[in-house]
Homo-oligomer: A and B are copies of this chain.
Amino acid sequence: MPLVDRTLLGPGPSNPYPEATAALAAPLLGHLDPEFLRILDETCARLRTVWGTGNARTLPLSGTGSIGMEAAFANFVRPGDTVVVAVNGLFGERMTDVAARYGADVVRVDHEWGQPVDVQRVVEAHPSPAIIAAVHAETSTGVRSDIAALAAAAPDSALVLADCVTSLAGIPVDIDGWGVDIAYAGTQKCLGVSPGLAPFTVSERAWERRAQRPPTWYLDLNLIGAYVDGSQGGRTYHHTAPVALIASLHAALGRILDEGLEAVYERHRAAGEHLQRGLQDLGLTLFAEEGHRLPELTTVTVPDGVDSAKIRQILLTEHNIEIGAGAGRYAASVWRIGLMGHNARVERADLVLATLGRLLRS
Protein backbone atom coordinates (compact mmCIF):
# COMPACT_ATOMS: atom_id res chain seq x y z
CA MET A 1 0.00 0.00 0.00
CA PRO A 2 1.38 3.45 -0.85
CA LEU A 3 2.82 5.45 2.02
CA VAL A 4 0.67 8.47 2.81
CA ASP A 5 2.70 11.37 4.15
CA ARG A 6 0.58 14.15 5.55
CA THR A 7 1.45 17.55 6.89
CA LEU A 8 -0.72 17.60 10.00
CA LEU A 9 -1.95 21.16 10.50
CA GLY A 10 -5.19 20.34 12.29
CA PRO A 11 -5.87 20.61 16.03
CA GLY A 12 -3.66 17.58 16.66
CA PRO A 13 -1.99 15.21 16.22
CA SER A 14 0.86 17.19 14.73
CA ASN A 15 3.83 15.67 12.94
CA PRO A 16 6.15 14.48 15.70
CA TYR A 17 9.65 15.82 16.16
CA PRO A 18 12.01 13.55 14.16
CA GLU A 19 13.76 12.57 17.40
CA ALA A 20 10.43 11.39 18.79
CA THR A 21 9.76 9.20 15.77
CA ALA A 22 13.25 7.69 15.89
CA ALA A 23 12.83 6.82 19.58
CA LEU A 24 9.48 5.20 18.88
CA ALA A 25 11.15 2.70 16.57
CA ALA A 26 14.23 2.05 18.74
CA PRO A 27 14.60 -1.45 20.25
CA LEU A 28 11.93 -1.89 22.90
CA LEU A 29 12.84 -2.05 26.58
CA GLY A 30 10.99 -3.86 29.32
CA HIS A 31 8.95 -1.69 31.70
CA LEU A 32 11.06 -2.79 34.68
CA ASP A 33 14.43 -2.58 32.90
CA PRO A 34 16.74 -0.20 34.83
CA GLU A 35 17.57 1.43 31.51
CA PHE A 36 13.90 2.16 30.91
CA LEU A 37 13.35 3.34 34.48
CA ARG A 38 16.19 5.81 33.98
CA ILE A 39 14.43 7.09 30.85
CA LEU A 40 11.16 7.30 32.79
CA ASP A 41 12.78 9.26 35.62
CA GLU A 42 14.40 11.63 33.16
CA THR A 43 11.10 12.04 31.36
CA CYS A 44 9.41 13.06 34.61
CA ALA A 45 12.26 15.47 35.37
CA ARG A 46 12.03 17.01 31.90
CA LEU A 47 8.27 17.30 32.27
CA ARG A 48 8.78 19.23 35.50
CA THR A 49 10.91 21.73 33.60
CA VAL A 50 8.34 22.15 30.85
CA TRP A 51 5.46 22.43 33.35
CA GLY A 52 7.47 24.88 35.47
CA THR A 53 7.00 22.86 38.62
CA GLY A 54 8.86 21.10 41.37
CA ASN A 55 5.89 18.78 41.96
CA ALA A 56 7.16 15.33 42.91
CA ARG A 57 4.02 13.90 41.35
CA THR A 58 4.66 14.73 37.72
CA LEU A 59 4.35 11.85 35.31
CA PRO A 60 2.97 10.67 31.97
CA LEU A 61 -0.32 8.79 32.27
CA SER A 62 -0.92 5.82 29.98
CA GLY A 63 -3.65 7.12 27.70
CA THR A 64 -4.37 10.02 25.36
CA GLY A 65 -4.83 13.57 26.66
CA SER A 66 -8.42 12.99 27.72
CA ILE A 67 -7.27 10.42 30.24
CA GLY A 68 -5.57 13.32 32.04
CA MET A 69 -8.94 15.00 32.49
CA GLU A 70 -10.44 11.74 33.71
CA ALA A 71 -7.59 11.16 36.19
CA ALA A 72 -7.88 14.72 37.50
CA PHE A 73 -11.53 14.40 38.44
CA ALA A 74 -11.39 10.71 39.39
CA ASN A 75 -8.68 11.28 41.99
CA PHE A 76 -9.69 14.65 43.42
CA VAL A 77 -13.48 14.81 43.42
CA ARG A 78 -15.44 13.37 46.34
CA PRO A 79 -19.15 12.84 45.78
CA GLY A 80 -20.93 16.07 46.67
CA ASP A 81 -17.92 18.33 46.14
CA THR A 82 -18.68 21.60 44.43
CA VAL A 83 -16.66 21.93 41.24
CA VAL A 84 -16.81 25.23 39.36
CA VAL A 85 -16.09 24.76 35.67
CA ALA A 86 -15.39 27.58 33.24
CA VAL A 87 -17.00 26.53 29.96
CA ASN A 88 -15.81 28.45 26.91
CA GLY A 89 -15.57 25.57 24.48
CA LEU A 90 -15.82 21.82 23.98
CA PHE A 91 -13.23 20.84 26.56
CA GLY A 92 -14.71 22.95 29.33
CA GLU A 93 -18.03 21.36 28.42
CA ARG A 94 -16.44 17.93 28.68
CA MET A 95 -15.09 18.73 32.14
CA THR A 96 -18.65 19.19 33.39
CA ASP A 97 -19.52 15.70 32.14
CA VAL A 98 -16.46 14.01 33.62
CA ALA A 99 -16.72 15.81 36.97
CA ALA A 100 -20.40 14.91 37.28
CA ARG A 101 -19.66 11.22 36.67
CA TYR A 102 -17.43 11.28 39.74
CA GLY A 103 -20.22 12.77 41.82
CA ALA A 104 -19.34 16.45 41.67
CA ASP A 105 -21.95 19.11 42.19
CA VAL A 106 -20.98 21.04 39.06
CA VAL A 107 -21.40 24.80 38.84
CA ARG A 108 -20.83 25.75 35.24
CA VAL A 109 -19.96 29.25 34.14
CA ASP A 110 -20.81 29.54 30.48
CA HIS A 111 -19.05 31.82 28.03
CA GLU A 112 -19.58 32.48 24.40
CA TRP A 113 -17.30 30.27 22.30
CA GLY A 114 -14.32 32.22 21.04
CA GLN A 115 -14.08 34.25 24.26
CA PRO A 116 -11.54 33.74 27.04
CA VAL A 117 -12.57 32.74 30.55
CA ASP A 118 -13.96 35.65 32.58
CA VAL A 119 -11.99 35.22 35.80
CA GLN A 120 -14.26 37.39 37.89
CA ARG A 121 -17.44 35.54 36.96
CA VAL A 122 -15.76 32.19 37.59
CA VAL A 123 -14.45 32.98 41.06
CA GLU A 124 -17.76 34.60 42.05
CA ALA A 125 -19.79 31.60 40.92
CA HIS A 126 -19.54 29.88 44.30
CA PRO A 127 -18.14 31.01 47.67
CA SER A 128 -16.22 27.83 48.56
CA PRO A 129 -15.80 25.31 45.76
CA ALA A 130 -13.54 22.29 46.25
CA ILE A 131 -12.15 22.73 42.73
CA ILE A 132 -12.12 25.49 40.13
CA ALA A 133 -11.40 24.13 36.66
CA ALA A 134 -10.63 25.81 33.36
CA VAL A 135 -8.99 25.17 30.02
CA HIS A 136 -5.78 27.05 29.35
CA ALA A 137 -5.81 26.66 25.58
CA GLU A 138 -9.26 25.74 24.23
CA THR A 139 -8.61 23.40 21.33
CA SER A 140 -12.16 23.89 20.10
CA THR A 141 -11.91 27.67 19.68
CA GLY A 142 -8.22 28.60 19.59
CA VAL A 143 -8.56 30.78 22.69
CA ARG A 144 -6.05 31.29 25.48
CA SER A 145 -7.34 32.02 28.97
CA ASP A 146 -5.43 33.61 31.82
CA ILE A 147 -4.86 30.75 34.23
CA ALA A 148 -2.41 32.82 36.27
CA ALA A 149 -5.13 35.37 36.98
CA LEU A 150 -7.67 32.66 37.72
CA ALA A 151 -5.38 30.93 40.21
CA ALA A 152 -4.53 34.27 41.86
CA ALA A 153 -8.20 35.17 42.27
CA ALA A 154 -9.37 31.74 43.41
CA PRO A 155 -10.14 31.29 47.11
CA ASP A 156 -7.32 29.54 48.96
CA SER A 157 -9.56 26.63 49.82
CA ALA A 158 -10.15 25.71 46.17
CA LEU A 159 -7.84 23.50 44.16
CA VAL A 160 -7.13 25.01 40.75
CA LEU A 161 -7.29 22.53 37.88
CA ALA A 162 -6.04 23.47 34.40
CA ASP A 163 -6.36 21.65 31.08
CA CYS A 164 -3.09 22.31 29.29
CA VAL A 165 -3.53 19.78 26.48
CA THR A 166 -2.90 22.30 23.72
CA SER A 167 -0.69 24.72 25.63
CA LEU A 168 2.16 22.70 27.13
CA ALA A 169 5.42 23.30 25.25
CA GLY A 170 3.72 25.74 22.89
CA ILE A 171 3.02 28.75 25.09
CA PRO A 172 4.37 29.47 28.58
CA VAL A 173 2.97 27.29 31.36
CA ASP A 174 4.13 28.00 34.90
CA ILE A 175 2.37 25.64 37.29
CA ASP A 176 4.21 26.69 40.45
CA GLY A 177 4.44 30.39 39.56
CA TRP A 178 0.73 30.54 38.84
CA GLY A 179 -0.29 28.34 41.76
CA VAL A 180 -2.05 25.63 39.77
CA ASP A 181 -2.74 22.42 41.71
CA ILE A 182 -3.67 19.87 39.08
CA ALA A 183 -2.87 19.97 35.38
CA TYR A 184 -2.69 17.62 32.44
CA ALA A 185 -1.63 17.75 28.81
CA GLY A 186 -1.46 15.55 25.72
CA THR A 187 1.61 14.52 23.77
CA GLN A 188 0.22 14.94 20.26
CA LYS A 189 0.08 18.74 20.22
CA CYS A 190 3.00 21.06 20.98
CA LEU A 191 5.05 18.31 22.63
CA GLY A 192 5.47 16.80 19.19
CA VAL A 193 4.91 13.12 20.05
CA SER A 194 2.33 10.62 18.79
CA PRO A 195 -0.91 10.52 20.78
CA GLY A 196 -1.06 8.05 23.66
CA LEU A 197 0.25 9.79 26.77
CA ALA A 198 -1.08 12.43 29.13
CA PRO A 199 1.56 14.34 31.11
CA PHE A 200 0.10 15.06 34.52
CA THR A 201 1.18 17.06 37.55
CA VAL A 202 -0.20 17.47 41.10
CA SER A 203 0.80 19.91 43.85
CA GLU A 204 1.56 18.74 47.38
CA ARG A 205 -1.55 20.33 48.83
CA ALA A 206 -3.74 18.70 46.18
CA TRP A 207 -2.05 15.36 46.81
CA GLU A 208 -3.05 15.55 50.46
CA ARG A 209 -6.68 15.88 49.37
CA ARG A 210 -6.68 12.99 46.91
CA ALA A 211 -9.09 10.09 47.15
CA GLN A 212 -7.46 7.18 48.94
CA ARG A 213 -9.40 4.71 46.84
CA PRO A 214 -10.81 6.39 43.74
CA PRO A 215 -13.53 4.64 41.75
CA THR A 216 -11.00 3.86 39.01
CA TRP A 217 -8.25 1.28 39.35
CA TYR A 218 -6.32 2.09 36.15
CA LEU A 219 -6.04 5.77 37.03
CA ASP A 220 -5.59 5.41 40.79
CA LEU A 221 -2.67 7.78 41.34
CA ASN A 222 -1.74 5.99 44.57
CA LEU A 223 -1.04 2.81 42.61
CA ILE A 224 0.53 4.49 39.58
CA GLY A 225 2.80 6.53 41.82
CA ALA A 226 4.14 3.38 43.47
CA TYR A 227 5.53 2.34 40.09
CA VAL A 228 6.61 5.68 38.63
CA ASP A 229 8.18 7.12 41.76
CA GLY A 230 11.36 5.21 42.50
CA SER A 231 12.60 7.78 45.01
CA GLN A 232 11.42 5.68 47.98
CA GLY A 233 13.34 2.66 46.79
CA GLY A 234 11.24 -0.08 45.23
CA ARG A 235 8.84 0.13 42.35
CA THR A 236 5.55 -1.71 42.58
CA TYR A 237 4.18 -3.02 39.30
CA HIS A 238 0.85 -1.47 38.42
CA HIS A 239 0.33 -1.75 34.68
CA THR A 240 2.78 -2.26 31.83
CA ALA A 241 3.96 1.22 30.92
CA PRO A 242 3.71 2.17 27.23
CA VAL A 243 7.48 2.05 26.98
CA ALA A 244 7.87 3.06 23.32
CA LEU A 245 5.69 6.13 23.72
CA ILE A 246 7.53 7.17 26.88
CA ALA A 247 10.89 6.80 25.14
CA SER A 248 9.45 8.94 22.35
CA LEU A 249 8.27 11.61 24.79
CA HIS A 250 11.68 11.52 26.44
CA ALA A 251 13.33 12.22 23.11
CA ALA A 252 10.94 15.03 22.18
CA LEU A 253 11.45 16.69 25.55
CA GLY A 254 15.20 16.41 25.07
CA ARG A 255 14.87 18.18 21.74
CA ILE A 256 12.61 20.87 23.21
CA LEU A 257 14.93 21.57 26.15
CA ASP A 258 17.99 21.57 23.88
CA GLU A 259 16.34 24.23 21.76
CA GLY A 260 15.30 26.02 24.94
CA LEU A 261 11.76 26.64 26.13
CA GLU A 262 11.87 30.35 25.36
CA ALA A 263 13.04 29.65 21.82
CA VAL A 264 10.30 27.05 21.39
CA TYR A 265 7.64 29.52 22.57
CA GLU A 266 9.07 32.18 20.25
CA ARG A 267 8.96 29.75 17.33
CA HIS A 268 5.29 29.02 18.04
CA ARG A 269 4.55 32.74 18.45
CA ALA A 270 6.25 33.74 15.22
CA ALA A 271 4.64 30.97 13.15
CA GLY A 272 1.19 31.61 14.59
CA GLU A 273 1.34 35.37 14.08
CA HIS A 274 2.57 34.87 10.54
CA LEU A 275 -0.35 32.56 9.82
CA GLN A 276 -2.93 34.83 11.44
CA ARG A 277 -1.67 37.88 9.57
CA GLY A 278 -1.61 35.90 6.33
CA LEU A 279 -5.16 34.66 6.76
CA GLN A 280 -6.36 38.20 7.34
CA ASP A 281 -4.43 39.29 4.26
CA LEU A 282 -6.45 36.70 2.36
CA GLY A 283 -9.56 38.57 3.53
CA LEU A 284 -10.53 35.98 6.13
CA THR A 285 -11.84 36.70 9.62
CA LEU A 286 -10.26 35.13 12.69
CA PHE A 287 -12.70 33.48 15.07
CA ALA A 288 -10.99 33.79 18.45
CA GLU A 289 -11.16 37.09 20.31
CA GLU A 290 -8.24 39.38 19.49
CA GLY A 291 -5.63 39.48 22.22
CA HIS A 292 -6.51 35.92 23.30
CA ARG A 293 -5.50 33.98 20.22
CA LEU A 294 -3.34 30.91 20.53
CA PRO A 295 -0.35 30.98 18.20
CA GLU A 296 -0.33 27.17 18.02
CA LEU A 297 -3.97 26.84 17.00
CA THR A 298 -5.69 29.36 14.79
CA THR A 299 -9.43 29.43 14.22
CA VAL A 300 -10.72 31.18 11.15
CA THR A 301 -14.24 31.71 9.87
CA VAL A 302 -15.09 29.94 6.62
CA PRO A 303 -16.11 32.59 4.07
CA ASP A 304 -19.76 32.71 3.01
CA GLY A 305 -20.48 30.44 0.10
CA VAL A 306 -17.41 28.27 0.60
CA ASP A 307 -17.91 24.55 1.18
CA SER A 308 -15.78 24.02 4.26
CA ALA A 309 -15.56 20.23 4.04
CA LYS A 310 -14.73 20.28 0.34
CA ILE A 311 -11.79 22.61 0.83
CA ARG A 312 -10.48 20.42 3.64
CA GLN A 313 -10.87 17.36 1.46
CA ILE A 314 -8.95 18.89 -1.45
CA LEU A 315 -6.20 20.03 0.91
CA LEU A 316 -5.96 16.50 2.28
CA THR A 317 -6.27 14.36 -0.81
CA GLU A 318 -4.55 16.57 -3.38
CA HIS A 319 -1.98 18.32 -1.21
CA ASN A 320 -1.54 15.99 1.79
CA ILE A 321 -2.29 18.89 4.14
CA GLU A 322 -4.64 18.27 7.01
CA ILE A 323 -6.47 21.16 8.63
CA GLY A 324 -9.34 20.73 11.08
CA ALA A 325 -13.05 21.40 10.92
CA GLY A 326 -14.56 23.57 13.60
CA ALA A 327 -15.86 21.95 16.78
CA GLY A 328 -19.46 21.53 17.86
CA ARG A 329 -21.88 23.90 16.17
CA TYR A 330 -19.01 25.55 14.32
CA ALA A 331 -18.12 22.34 12.47
CA ALA A 332 -18.98 23.79 9.06
CA SER A 333 -18.29 27.47 9.71
CA VAL A 334 -14.80 27.45 11.21
CA TRP A 335 -11.47 25.92 10.27
CA ARG A 336 -8.83 25.08 12.85
CA ILE A 337 -5.22 25.33 11.72
CA GLY A 338 -2.53 24.06 14.03
CA LEU A 339 1.17 24.95 13.99
CA MET A 340 2.32 22.79 16.84
CA GLY A 341 5.62 21.34 17.94
CA HIS A 342 7.70 20.40 14.93
CA ASN A 343 5.18 22.18 12.67
CA ALA A 344 5.50 25.50 14.51
CA ARG A 345 7.43 27.07 11.66
CA VAL A 346 6.83 30.03 9.40
CA GLU A 347 7.36 27.76 6.39
CA ARG A 348 4.45 25.56 7.42
CA ALA A 349 2.30 28.68 7.73
CA ASP A 350 3.39 29.74 4.25
CA LEU A 351 2.52 26.30 2.90
CA VAL A 352 -1.05 26.38 4.15
CA LEU A 353 -1.51 30.05 3.26
CA ALA A 354 -0.36 29.49 -0.31
CA THR A 355 -2.45 26.40 -0.84
CA LEU A 356 -5.58 27.60 0.91
CA GLY A 357 -5.30 30.98 -0.78
CA ARG A 358 -5.16 29.38 -4.22
CA LEU A 359 -8.16 27.15 -3.50
CA LEU A 360 -10.23 30.07 -2.23
CA ARG A 361 -9.46 32.14 -5.32
CA SER A 362 -10.30 29.34 -7.75
Query: Taking beta carbons and an 8 Å cutoff, which residues of A are in contact with B?
Result: 3-6, 8, 10, 12-13, 15-16, 21-22, 24-35, 62-67, 69-70, 74, 94, 97-98, 101-102, 186, 188, 194-196, 213-218, 238-245, 316, 322
**B240–A12 contact, CB under 8 A?**
yes
Minimum CB–CB distance from A231 to chain B (whole Å) comes to: 21
The answer, among B6, B33, B214, for a CB contact under 8 Å with A322, is B33
A35 to B320 CA separation, bound complex (whole angstroms): 11
Q: In the complex, which residue of chain B has the Cβ closest to the Cβ of A98?
A: B217
**A28–B194 contact, CB under 8 A?**
yes
Minimum CB–CB distance from A89 to chain B (whole Å) comes to: 13
* Contact A218-B67, Cβ < 8 Å, known A25-B25, A30-B13, A195-B243: yes
What residues of B have a CB within 8 angstroms of the CB of A67 in the complex? 62-63, 218, 239
**A216–B30 contact, CB under 8 A?**
no
Q: What does DSSP make chain A's interface, helix, strand, loop or mixed?
A: loop
A61 to B6 CA separation, bound complex (whole angstroms): 25
A94 to B218 CA separation, bound complex (whole angstroms): 11
Minimum CB–CB distance from A11 to chain B (whole Å) comes to: 9
* Top 7 closest pairs, chain A to chain B, by CB: A25-B25, A196-B242, A194-B244, A66-B239, A70-B218, A5-B27, A98-B217
What residues of B have a CB within 8 angstroms of the CB of A102 in the complex? 215
What residues of B have a CB within 8 angstroms of the CB of A3 in the complex? 26-27
What residues of B have a CB within 8 angstroms of the CB of A216 in the complex? 70, 74, 101, 215-216
Mind listing 12 A-B residue pairs with CB under 8 Å?
A: A6-B29, A10-B32, A13-B243, A15-B28, A21-B25, A24-B244, A30-B322, A33-B316, A63-B67, A64-B241, A64-B242, A70-B216
The answer, among B6, B28, B70, B245, for a CB contact under 8 Å with A6, is B28
What residues of B have a CB within 8 angstroms of the CB of A8 in the complex? 28-30
Q: In the complex, which residue of chain B has the Cβ closest to the Cβ of A188?
A: B240
Minimum CB–CB distance from A100 to chain B (whole Å) comes to: 9
**B62–A63 contact, CB under 8 A?**
yes
A101 to B220 CA separation, bound complex (whole angstroms): 11
Given contacts A30-B322, A66-B238, A98-B217, 10 further A-B contacts (CB under 8 A): A4-B33, A4-B35, A13-B28, A13-B30, A13-B31, A63-B67, A64-B242, A101-B215, A188-B240, A195-B243
* Contact A65-B195, Cβ < 8 Å, known A6-B30, A98-B217, A217-B97: no
**B213–A101 contact, CB under 8 A?**
yes
What residues of B have a CB within 8 angstroms of the CB of A214 in the complex? 101
